[in-house]
Amino acid sequence: MKRIKIFDGKEIDKIGFGTWTIGGLTQPAQEHDEQGLKILQSAIKIGYRHLDTAEYYARGHSEELVGQAVRESGIAREEFFITTKVHPGNLGYKPTIRAFERSLDYLGMDYVDLYLIHWPRRNMPLDSTFRAFNELVKQKRIRYVGVSNFSVEEMMQAQEYSDVPLLTNQVPLSVGDHEYLENGVLNFCQQNNILLTAYSPVKDIRGNHLEVLREIGEIHQVTPYQIALAWLVNQPGVITIPYSQDERHQADNFAAGEIELTENQMEQIAKLV
């Protein structure tokens, strides 16, 4: 698995594992816990160590299952990179602290590697929210901070209030969705040594996309979807967090981190809209 060096010299995997729908959607669905744990266990067995969740996912039940899967794996906690997120309804100093404490309880951990603001909202209290983030970083209960779905302007505001560099902005980006490429977010991240974490990385891939991706995939002897993921992580400062319930697809996604695309192939894919 390719890894990327971040601002403090440490490295993280370029392909992680998203957990939206594990544990339920906006409400817990414990009747599917066995399936959810099997999905997480197979991902960990394949080699995924960056697991991405949020308090919004199944109202914290996703966090519970992620924590359980990590503990039951027998692999040291320090080998994992765990990301979770605060809901925009819980922004502000005290609400953020309370939300973070709940997430730790659900995860059954004493720290998280990365804590994000899940979505921006109008008139959000970034100053007091980052006061909470800064305090939690000083207490070593959060290793890194970041944002999700933020515009360039919102990222600049967040930078003003954060005592530490932003590690990432997590946004939708794929061969079929170039919004955060076209709105300047990717360029801003690259210019400011901030990772762009692409979620929904194979969404909106249509027929004409598949034709080109399939042709390139035949050259590398991989699937079109692996090429779509490789296009993301071959870009400077981009990582991604695909999700799959199928163990074979999980393995394919993980292996996509090793694919080296040529400059011409990257340009071919970039022109697909």
What whole-number distance in Å separates Cα of residue 165 and Cα of residue 206?
37
Going from the C-alpha of 68 to that of each of 34, 109, 128, the distances in angstroms are: 11, 10, 32
Q: Identity (one letter) of the amino acid at 186? A: L
**Three-state SS at 182:** helix
Active site positions, annotated: 57
**Three-state SS at 51:** strand
What whole-number distance in Å separates Cα of residue 64 and Cα of residue 54?
10
Residues in Cβ contact with 271 at an 8 Å cutoff, skipping those fewer than 6 apart: none
Cβ contact 66:107 at 8 Å: yes
